[in-house]
Amino acid sequence: MNAQDNKKSIIYTLSGMALFSIQDSLIKFIYNDTALYELYFGRTFVAFILLLIFMWFKKEKLILKTHYPFLTIFRVILFFCGFSFFYISLTFMKLAMANALFFSSPFFVTIFAKIFLKEEISIRRISAIIVGFIGVYIILNPDFKNFKPMNLAPIACALCYAGSMIILKLTNDKDNVYTQLAHLYIGAISISVLFYIFTGDGKFNTFSDPSMQFILREWFTNPKEAWPIITIMGFCGAAAFALIFNAYNLGSPSTVSLFEYSLIIYSIIVGYFLFQETPSVRTLIGIVIIISSGSYIYFREKVKDQLIVTENPIR
């Protein structure tokens, strides 16, 4: 690994995070005109087709058999639920706030690594986790008299994502990345279809809350406007993951991980220009604390040669 490879990996990471921010902004843009799992289905279907095309060009064989069936099913469910929470959060939360709270995932990954992988976690990393959660608390600014549990949606996403990453750590010795990606895509498509069967006609959409309407809205009510955007989302998500995956293969994981925080900066910019969102001072302070704590955890992993958080893409 040389300096030139690291520079390329940084460019790939910055480009991938930019595409993720576009994807998130598109969700925020159309959530009033489509159903959550219609969107999830379309985005994942497009990404899966692109994966198959990519594998065909690379002459890679798609192997669906897994050596860890129960862990794989659990990982698929965690990943699906996690990003359901995240997409829902975009209906009521500023882009920068949602992404900043999502970046609490390295704290959960480190905690889970201690519990399930028996990794040694130093007092320094424990301190960094505590400080990081203080940043989360500052961003949430909870008023416990009127606290809305739905505000925890990005943190629930981070928790589910962290669990899926720990499972990945356990299964990637025998299941290759294409197999694991295919499982995520096929699982998301299958679960989305189940939602269509039971809720796709909108019969449960009796709520006035925009987030609940997003979850339970009737499918295909506005396909001419919604599906071109959903298709673009699928391209953005697939391209972004490919860029990040190549960045991890090419450069130092600890370097790539730090530049993933550019997603928060992109979210601030996109939120300001497209949705007139201006982060509060509390949010900005919390963002700085979360980034600082996460960066320190990455640094300590590099020092200890325990690449728990930094060896996999954050999204």
pLDDT, residue 248, reads 80
Give the other-Cβ count within 10 Å of 153's Cβ. Answer: 25
Contact yes or no for 308/112 (Cβ under 8 A)? no
pLDDT, residue 125, reads 84
202: which 2 tokens?
Answer: 């909108």
Any idea how long the chain is? 315
147: left (phi over 0), alpha (psi -120 to 50) or beta: beta
pLDDT, residue 44, reads 96
Q: Cα-atom radius of gyration of the chain, to the nearest Å?
A: 19
Contact yes or no for 227/239 (Cβ under 8 A)? no
pLDDT, residue 273, reads 94
Average pLDDT of each block of 10 consecutive residues along the chain (315 residues)? 74 94 95 95 96 92 93 96 96 95 90 84 88 94 76 95 88 87 95 97 94 96 94 93 83 77 94 93 94 83 59 60
- Cα atoms in the 13 Å half-sphere on the side-chain side of 189: 15
pLDDT, residue 308, reads 57
Residues 6 or more apart whose Cβ sits within 8 Å of residue 46: 230, 231, 233, 234, 235, 238
Contact yes or no for 309/109 (Cβ under 8 A)? yes
- CA 315, chain centre distance (Å): 4
166: which 2 tokens?
Answer: 């720990």
Any long-range contacts for 118-124 (C-beta under 8 Å, 24+ apart)? 119/306, 119/308, 120/304, 120/306, 122/300, 122/304, 124/296, 124/300
pLDDT, residue 201, reads 96
Smallest CA-to-CA distance from 31 within 86, 82, 88, 79 is with: 88
Report the C-alpha dihedral over residues 210, 213, 217, 220, rounded to 10 degrees.
10
pLDDT, residue 48, reads 95
Number of H helices, E strands in the chain: 13, 0
pLDDT, residue 314, reads 56
The predicted model scores a pTM of 0.90
